[in-house]
Structure 1
Amino acid sequence: MIRVSAGAGSGRTPLSAFDAALREAGVADFNLVRLSSVIPPNSLVETVAGTDQIVGDHGDLLFCVYAEAHAELPSHEAWAGVAWALADDGSGGGLFVEHEGPSREQVERDLQSSLDDLIVGRGGGYHPAGTLMTSAVCETEPVCALVVATYRAQGWS
């Protein structure tokens, strides 16, 4: 199962805001290994709360696709989103796209355009199956918005 969750957070620095978003998304204690956006066959993609994210040990590798957006100026917004399409043949395979930006409209448009392009580029055979977006608004401290799709955790040994 590929779990998709979202988090948003603030902190005194963009890095600590990112950590707060990772905590809310349920993946703070992993080392993220970013993947390209192909969903392997026999996968089930499910949106979950951060508390229902993948389980692993502190420091494990976490293979994932994610979008992360930051804002540091008062009243500026950070938007992040992940969308996916699944193969029409029922194999469970598919495609993820991830985008970030300063507005909901831009991220929605980019997600749709990228997903359409990836499907057309493969000759069709996929249908849109889901989207998860989140946002954060900077008030005084930097903020981060994060959406993460987790494939699996793996220890170092």
Structure 2
Amino acid sequence: MNRSMIPTKAFLTRGVGRHRYRLKSFEEALRSAGVAQQNLVQVSSIVPPKCRFIGQKEGLEKLSPGQICYCVMARTDTNEHGRLIASAIGVAIPKESSQWGYLSEVHEYGMNRQQASEMAEDLAADMLGTTLGLEVDPDQAWSEKEQVYKASGLIIRASSMTQTARGQRGHWTTAVALAVFLFEGDESLL
């Protein structure tokens, strides 16, 4: 196994962009998130065992222009005036550091920040919970499920990063939220 390809750190970031062209709106959202100068490679939703989350500022300082960065990205676009959009990344980390965690992506219309954040956390915690053998009623509200997960002692953290925005007349609006993975040691692998 090539251990150099297993991320040891990750950070969350978010941004919003607006422009008359959709692609440029996306670029502006990535700029707002601080990752426009990287080559982003989207991956699925696993947080490797022992991967540590660091602050956004610290994470962004570790990046170099042109670098290949693996990330989990939520992206939502609209060109409808007044339309509410939300992009969120949910994180669920197990207590046992040898176990992997989960990330979730939410790309929604009509959700406010709290709704999107709760959905992202709920999805990530549910994926981790079922892996750990926890059975929770899927129809319960997130606040109720969160208590079950915490009481189990198996999940130590569920959190999220959310970006919301409203569409503006004559422009595309893009909201992004990302979990960006970092590798310890060989900086060229980023």
Length-normalised TM-score, structure 2: 0.71
**Alignment partner for residue 151 of structure 1, among 181, 185, 190?**
181
Bigger radius of gyration:
2
Task: Call closer, same or farther: CA 1:47–1:77 in 2, change over 3 Å.
Answer: farther
CA distance in 2, matches of 1:21, 1:44: 25
Aligned residues: 155
Flag the structure with higher helix content.
Answer: 2
Gaps of 5+ in 1: none
Q: State the partner residue of 1:46.
A: 54
Counterpart of 1:83?
A: 90
Which amino acid counterpart does residue 40 of structure 2 have in structure 1?
L
- For 1:20, the equivalent position in structure 2 comes to 28
Deviation at 1:91, TM superposition (A): 4.1
Structure with the higher fraction of residues in strand conformation: 1
Verify the 8 A CA contact 1:5 1:47 in the aligned structure 2. no
126, 133, 141: which is aligned to 2:155?
Answer: 126
1:65-104 alignment to 2 at 5 Å? 65-91=72-98, 93-102=100-109, 103-104=111-112
Moved more, 132-141 or 114-123: 114-123
Displacement of 1:139: 1.5
Question: What is aligned with 2:68?
Answer: 61
Q: Give distance in 1, aligned partners of 2:50 and 2:59.
A: 24
Sequence identity, in percent? 21
Contact 1:94–1:126, Cα closer than 8 Å, also in 2: no
Quote the RMSD (CA, aligned, Å). Answer: 2.4
Output the TM-score relative to the length of structure 1.
0.85
Unpaired runs of at least 5, structure 2: 1-8, 135-153
